[in-house]
A and B are shown apart, each in its own frame.
Chain A
Amino acid sequence: MSRPATNFNEREFTICQVARVVEEKYIYWVGAGGEPQSSVLLAKRTTAPNLQYFTEDGVIGPEALLPLDPLMNMVNSFANYRAIQWATMNYVADLAQLGYVDYGILNTLQVDRYGNINSNVVGRYAGGEGRRFGGPGGADSIAALAWRTILVTDQHKRKFVERVDFISSPGFLDGPGARERHGLPPGTGPWRVYTPWAMFGYTKDCQLELQAIAPYVPAEDVLAEMSFKPAIAAKLEVMDVPTEEELTVLRTQIDVAGQVTDRGRWVELSNGTYRFADSGS
């Protein structure tokens, strides 16, 4: 069952990558819905059955009964089934503020060189000119208070920008020491960014660094889908593709209706190499 898959889409790839770094020895605060929640649910059903995560409605360590109805990711009996504790938003924020949250997992509209996160507006903020989105929601608390933050987004030029149009949730702001100067707890901050094409970490001076690529995309294509040139690790790793087991769990238990995964390009194994199924022969 755990052999490498020969057919999957980009979003499934990302969810599997993030699920693989999730470990039982840590506590996670997860943005509800989308890839972040799918990743922890996948980890819980594969490698980390005793995994504990919070969502911002105050659920502590649930064992969600799947699948969930559309938009029913929180304050919901299925998402919050058999939790260790039921509480409220202030309680979860307090736990994070106390230092219990090892990792946060989030997605974003835009990310910049310093890992700052924008979920408020694309374009100009003033006068309501730009295209407006929902706001930070719980992401600001996660990005500020979790020891390490994992970000999930798509590999697009418009998403990887030199400076986000609006800092909704803090990355490293403008470099070492900036978080502390603005009252955020020391030792916290961005850890990795996952996209369907690549994985990024950060350099010692808090700048985004390309560290790994998917086997179906060359590094130059990743860089072409960024508005700035990131640091590049001395040795670029190539990430493993999803296994058949991961995809089976994801497709039959977690994202049964394709609400999260039914958007990416398809990848297939062809003559021994992985490539986009729509790329021609």
Chain B
Amino acid sequence: MHILEEGKGEYLKVDPDAYRAWARDNKPHQMVSKLMSEKEAVERFVHDGDYLAYDCDYFHRGPNSLIREIIRQRKKNLWICGKFTYVDCSLFVGSECADRIDVGFIGFGPWISQAVREKKVAIYEYSNAIMTLRLKAGAMGVPFIPARSFGGTDGFKYSGCKIVEDPYTGRPVLIVPALNPDAAIIHVHQADEYGNARVFGTGITHQECALASRRVILSAEQIVSTDELRRDPGRTSIPHFAVDAVVHAPFGAYPGTVQGYYASDPAGVIEVMGAMYKGNFRNYLEKHIYSVSSHAEYLDKVVGAAKLAEMRRRETIREGYGI
């Protein structure tokens, strides 16, 4: 294929054959229970130096209890898939967990800007949909996918994308490198103990993220029976064999919303936004992450039952969420 133009950004090595071998050798083909604590799940399935993807973000059905656990365990040198996200990357950079970010959209606060200037964090440029397309290629077992966007931008120059001559039409077309993250964390509405899971409402890329990633941790608002899932198989979003760990995490997306289950906590949203922009991040990390040892303790001691009840009460819409 004739290459017309290429970005100079570093990108995670593309190797679909290696992923196939991983799916054969390391993915749990048999239905086995994977219920565990967030501490155990993160200890076992997120490693220093991993490429980490997560779905949605800190305000919208994000895997926030797992994000907080990763920070609590002080993981190092993570390479973050920064698409459709806001404060999350600042949390990872401010806590010195991450040193590389593929950016579709992230909230740049003073922390990330300073880390970039000091060369503690490397940034590679994409768009949100180019990142989800990279995950889609990763979830299809192919090395790349063509796209009709992102060409002509300056972001392209700092990405792993290329523009090639399409062998079918002869016209220029952009291709994106497949992305197979080392680890993914995804928050879902319902899962069984094996990791069969349902996501209700819109989402960014939960299914692609689960299928593309080598090690996958789900946190679930509700643990349901497999019989319950079998009653309506069309609603299963993620199959068990893609999943390594299932963590029961009610209010796992606090301070964000989980559609149909609870509304966001506006004060909690504004508190973390303020920390990102005003630079009192260490206080935020201390109060919301390091001062507790688990998500359950966080909800109990820092957030409080009254606030959680209020979030449930404010989510008045049930229609479409299977409840």
Contacts and interface: CB of A to CB of B under 8 A. Distances in A.
A169 B86 CA distance: 19
Contact of B117 (A127, A145, A178): A127
Contact of A140 (B116, B123, B153, B201): B153
B130 interface: yes
A81 B321 CA distance: 11
A280 interface: no
Interface stretch (A88-96, A196-204, A224-232, A234-242): A88-96
Contact of B113 (A70, A80, A128, A180): A128
A173 B152 contact: yes
Interface residues of B, number: 65
Interface in A217-253: none
Given A56-B129, A128-B113, A135 B103 contact: yes
A71 B155 contact: no
Interface in B56-73: 56, 59-61
Interface string A59-87: 10000010001111011111011110011
B106 A135 contact: yes
A120 B104 CA distance: 10
Given A57-B204, A135-B104, A137-B104, A76 B153 contact: no
A134 B108 contact: yes
A265 to B, nearest CB: 25
Interface in A154-213: 166-170, 173, 178-185
B36 interface: no
Given A90-B133, A132-B108, A169-B153, A77 B259 contact: yes
B84 A89 contact: yes
Interface residues of A, number: 58
A89 B132 contact: yes
Given A72-B257, A137-B84, A145-B149, A183 B129 contact: no
A169 B156 CA distance: 10
Nearest to A117: B153
B132 A78 contact: no
Interface in A22-60: 56-59
Contacts, number: 201
Nearest to B57: A75
B96 to A, nearest CB: 17
Interface stretch (B25-33, B43-51, B168-176): B168-176
Contact of A137 (B127, B171, B201): B127
Given A57-B203, A58-B203, A140 B149 contact: yes
A89 B269 CA distance: 23
A133 B108 contact: yes
A184 B148 CA distance: 5
Contacts of A215: none
Interface of A: 56-59, 65, 69-72, 74-78, 80-83, 86-90, 92-93, 97, 120, 125, 127-129, 131-141, 144-145, 166-170, 173, 178-185
B229 to A, nearest CB: 19
Interface in B80-114: 82, 84, 86, 103-108, 112-113
Given A89-B205, A135-B104, A74 B60 contact: yes
Given A88-B203, A88-B205, A81 B317 contact: yes
A269 to B, nearest CB: 36
A134 B154 contact: no
The residue among B56, B86, B149, B171 with the most chain A CB atoms within 10 A of its own CB is B149
Interface stretch (B219-227, B260-268, B300-308): B260-268
Given A71-B59, A75-B204, A76-B259, A183 B171 contact: yes
Contact of A144 (B132, B150, B172, B201): B150
Contact of A182 (B60, B108, B136, B172): B172
B125 interface: yes
B152 A125 contact: no
B129 A140 contact: yes
Given A134-B107, A138-B127, A72 B264 contact: yes
A97 to B, nearest CB: 5
Contacts of A76: 60, 257, 259, 264
A141 B130 CA distance: 8
Contacts of B201: 75, 77, 80, 86
28 contacts: A70-B269, A71-B86, A71-B273, A72-B257, A75-B201, A75-B259, A76-B257, A77-B317, A80-B202, A88-B207, A90-B129, A93-B132, A93-B133, A132-B112, A133-B108, A135-B82, A135-B127, A138-B105, A138-B129, A141-B129, A145-B149, A168-B153, A168-B155, A173-B152, A178-B152, A182-B163, A183-B148, A183-B163
